[in-house]
Amino acid sequence: MAFGAQAGTYEWTSGWGMGVSEHLVDDGNGNELNISCPDDEEQGYVSAYATINGKQYSSNDEPGFDVIVDGKTYTNPFYTGCRACGDIFRNEFWEALRKANRLQLSAEGRTINLPTKNIAQVLKPIESQENSCRSEW
């Protein structure tokens, strides 16, 4: 059975379809974050897509977008194609994101706020069998 994450709920939701888990949050004004996690490495690794003030960004494109968790800025944290990037994602960023009280996205001088309701329930711990969000490195 496949189901998609639902937008417009002002809280974190998740869904699954075509071998990819998606974790989504939006602010009701068109700003959103979508974290995509393939079920297996052959399909790829974690990536994320953001809409900030009507403009779309991808973690796979330069320069991507920044995630600000409780005041700490993580530069394009869903890009894990380098060793240091993967280490930061696994060892610091993911758990900080799961525990976020304040979540912001930033790109090209624009910063938006996103809800954190249900974030810890939706984003499973990095070592959990239920979490398919793997770094490339």
Report the percentage of the chain scoring pLDDT > 90: 88
This prediction's pTM: 0.92
pLDDT tens for each residue of 13-56:
999 988 999 999 999 999 999 999 999 888 899 999 999 999 99
Report the pLDDT value the prediction gives residue 8, as an integer from 0 to 100.
Answer: 62
91, pLDDT greater than 60? yes
How confident is the prediction for the chain on average, in pLDDT?
94
For residue range 123-136, what is the model confidence (pLDDT) as tens digits? 999 999 999 999 99
**What residue ranges do the domains of the chain occupy?**
13-122
3-state secondary structure labels for all residues of 111-132: EEEECCCCHHHHCCCCCCCCCC
- Tens-digit pLDDT profile for residues 70-86: 999 999 999 999 999 99
Residue 21 has which token pair?
A: 């888990």
Give CA angle at 130 (112, 15), nearest 5°.
50
Q: How confident is the model at residue 7 (pLDDT cuts 50, 70, 90)?
A: low
Enter the DSSP assignment of 78: T
